[in-house]
């Protein structure tokens, strides 16, 4: 193992010694707008969340990541398809799923597998000119285990997020330092992302903020965590932008933060949440995940007491007031089963799965039209070609591919073109 680790170290040094990237190689901001290659940039593209997961599993099973490996072939085909359809970015989860994620770094033997798989991800993306929104999975560095059910150990979400001196935070910083340094000279990396949906953990649970047996952080804790982790990332890579991966707020978030319970926020309450998280933070980009399902936005309380909806235009208005750009890291529609009579009573023409393309298409088109109309520069649909068995066997299966649901995929291709035209962006 020593020789393997030595080789890994040399490879990492070789990667770092490669020709340095510059501002034109990564996503940057000019006047609050994204640029790539020195030109204004906008895109509606995809999450390919399992790209690293599939390759890591192959390495961990002792299989070579070469052209004879069917899973490598499948991942490369996905990237080739995306490039051929005009997409230039994807968002990935760059740690293995769940509790095995931080363990894949903490264990030196697994770390070899992790970096071998990540090296392959970068190689394939550069080959097909696909840039990465690289989600680092920072919030997973806890003592959580999965043994048929979730087991929460000594350090939980609260300890990691709220305590910079926790054991998990120290391991997280070691992982960030090594990983960011290893790949900061690779053009495939467009932007670093802190983690996935940490905001949804804030202030939930009982009066002690314990949810399902786990101690949870407050919104203030999350704000400090984002700022501290972003500063750590930037210390290793001053060039690239950092986004949070934080998701939208719960519709009750400000009231939960104020210990007033599950009371619907107003628009101004929601703005105060975003202001707390981002206004004075080292995080450069406000990131939301948008899954309002059969509604055009998230339900809020209006000042006059009547419900209102927080939609893409509303999020853009919040981002403008905070003074940072908005991206939608996850976008799409997750249909609900027919047994949910409330949904079908509210929206009788809703759809159950992407297999029914005729029913699904109006909703996909509407969701995309909202993004284009609001002028959100960067969004990633959930999701393109999931190779997980549980997704492939899901009757409601929501990943898209050119072969299985070309009609729905064509709507995203078209929306991507419309977004660029609306914002006056021409292809290089």
Cα–Cα distances (Å) from 219 to 166, 169, 216, 396, in that order, read: 18, 18, 10, 33
CB 271 within 8 A of CB 249: no
Is residue 349 pLDDT above 90, yes or no? no
Q: Which of 7-21, 140-154, 293-307, 369-383 has the lowest mean pLDDT?
A: 7-21
Could you tell me the pLDDT band of residue 428, with boundaries at 50, 70 and 90? Answer: low
The CA distance from 32 to 321, in Å, is: 12
Name the E strands within 201-290. 210-211, 214-215, 242-243, 286-290
8 vs 47: which has the higher pLDDT: 47
Please state the rounded mean pLDDT for residues 96-102: 91
CB 238 within 8 A of CB 295: no
Is residue 401 pLDDT above 60, yes or no? yes
270 vs 390: which has the higher pLDDT: 270
Angle made by CA atoms 153, 159, 164, in degrees to the nearest 5: 135
Please state the rounded mean pLDDT for residues 346-355: 89
Give the 3-state DSSP-derived string for 183-226, with helices as H, strands as E and coil as C: HCCCCCEEEEECCCCHHHHCCCCCCCCEECCEECCCHHHHHHHH
3-state secondary structure of 93: strand
pLDDT tens string 214-252: 999 999 999 999 999 999 999 999 999 999 998 999 999
Cis, bond preceding 192 (omega within 30 deg of 0): no
Q: Which phi and psi (to 5°) does residue 384 adopt?
A: -105, 125
Nearest to 193 by CA among 249, 130, 137: 137
Please state the rounded mean pLDDT for residues 3-23: 54
The CA distance from 204 to 226, in Å, is: 18
pLDDT at position 426 is 82
Query: How distant is the alpha carbon of residue 369 from its chain centre?
Result: 21
Query: Beta 189-193 vs 242-243: how paired, if at all?
Result: parallel
The CA distance from 181 to 196, in Å, is: 21
Query: Beta 33-36 vs 210-211: how paired, if at all?
Result: unpaired
Is residue 13 pLDDT above 90, yes or no? no
Query: Beta 89-93 vs 131-135: how paired, if at all?
Result: parallel
Domains belonging to the chain, first-starting first, are 33-422 (3.20.20.80)
Q: Which of 131-145, 196-210, 301-315 has the lowest mean pLDDT?
A: 301-315
Is residue 6 pLDDT above 70, yes or no? no
The CA distance from 350 to 334, in Å, is: 11
CB 60 within 8 A of CB 125: no
3-state secondary structure of 375: coil
Residue 394 DSSP one-character state? -
Is residue 272 pLDDT above 80, yes or no? yes
pLDDT at position 335 is 83
pLDDT at position 406 is 96
Is residue 15 pLDDT above 90, yes or no? no
Please state the rounded mean pLDDT for residues 191-211: 97
pLDDT at position 12 is 47
Could you tell me the pLDDT band of residue 10, with boundaries at 50, 70 and 90? Answer: very low
Q: What is the mean pLDDT of the chain?
A: 93
Angle made by CA atoms 80, 83, 89, in degrees to the nearest 5: 115
Could you tell me the pLDDT band of residue 346, with boundaries at 50, 70 and 90? Answer: confident
Residue 23 DSSP one-character state? G
Nearest to 93 by CA among 132, 49, 124: 49
3-state secondary structure of 305: coil
pLDDT at position 336 is 80
Is residue 190 pLDDT above 70, yes or no? yes
- Residues β-bridged to residue 89: 131
pLDDT at position 218 is 98
Reading the block at residue 282, the tokens are 């080292």
Could you tell me the pLDDT band of residue 16, with boundaries at 50, 70 and 90? Answer: very low
Is residue 14 pLDDT above 50, yes or no? no
Nearest to 217 by CA among 241, 242, 195, 193: 195
Residue 384 DSSP one-character state? B
Please state the rounded mean pLDDT for residues 190-214: 96
pLDDT at position 287 is 96
CB 225 within 8 A of CB 276: no
Is residue 317 pLDDT above 50, yes or no? yes
Q: Around Cβ 352, how many Cβ atoms within 10 Å?
A: 15
Cα distance between the two ends of the chain: 46
The CA distance from 34 to 281, in Å, is: 18
Residue 97 DSSP one-character state? S
Could you tell me the pLDDT band of residue 328, with boundaries at 50, 70 and 90? Answer: very high
């Amino acid at each position: 193992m020593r020789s393997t680790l030595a080789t890994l170290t040399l490879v990492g040094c070789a990667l770092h010694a490669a020709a340095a990237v510059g501002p034109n190689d990564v996503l940057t901001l000019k006047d609050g707008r994204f640029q790539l290659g020195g030109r204004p940039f906008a895109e509606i593209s995809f999450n390919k969340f399992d790209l690293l997961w599939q390759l890591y599993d192959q390495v961990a099973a002792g299989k070579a990541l070469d052209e004879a490996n069917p899973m490598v072939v499948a991942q490369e085909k996905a990237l080739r398809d995306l490039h051929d359809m005009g997409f230039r970015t994807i968002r990935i989860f760059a740690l293995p799923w769940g509790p095995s994620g931080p363990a894949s770094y903490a264990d030196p033997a697994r770390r070899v597998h992790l970096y071998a798989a990540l090296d392959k991800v970068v190689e394939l993306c550069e080959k097909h000119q696909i840039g990465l929104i690289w989600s680092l999975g920072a919030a997973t560095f806890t003592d959580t285990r999965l043994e048929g059910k979730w087991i929460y150990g000594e350090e939980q979400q609260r300890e990691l997020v709220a305590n910079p001196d926790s054991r998990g935070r120290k391991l997280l910083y070691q992982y960030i330092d090594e990983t960011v340094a290893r790949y900061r000279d690779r053009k495939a990396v467009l932007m670093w992302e802190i983690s996935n949906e940490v905001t949804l953990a804030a202030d939930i649970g009982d009066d002690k903020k314990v949810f399902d047996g786990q101690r949870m952080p407050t919104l203030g804790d999350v704000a400090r965590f984002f700022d501290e982790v972003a500063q750590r990332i930037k210390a290793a890579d001053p060039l690239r932008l950092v986004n949070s991966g934080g998701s939208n707020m719960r519709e009750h978030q400000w009231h939960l933060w104020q210990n007033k319970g599950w009371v619907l926020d107003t628009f101004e309450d929601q703005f105060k949440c975003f202001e707390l998280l981002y206004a004075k933070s080292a995080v450069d980009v406000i990131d939301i995940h948008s899954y309002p399902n059969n509604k055009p936005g998230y339900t809020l309380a209006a000042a006059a007491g009547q419900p209102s909806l927080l939609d893409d235009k509303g999020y853009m208005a919040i981002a403008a007031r905070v003074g940072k750009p908005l991206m939608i890291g996850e976008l799409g529609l997750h249909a609900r089963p027919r047994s949910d009579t409330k949904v079908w009573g509210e929206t009788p023409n809703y759809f159950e799965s992407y297999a029914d393309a005729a029913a699904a298409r109006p909703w996909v088109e509407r969701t995309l039209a909202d993004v284009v109309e609001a002028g959100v520069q960067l969004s990633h649909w959930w999701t393109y070609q999931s190779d997980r068995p549980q997704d492939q066997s899901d009757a409601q299966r929501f990943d898209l591919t050119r072969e299985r649901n070309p009609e729905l995929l064509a709507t995203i291709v078209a929306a991507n073109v419309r977004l660029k035209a609306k914002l006056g962006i021409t292809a290089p």
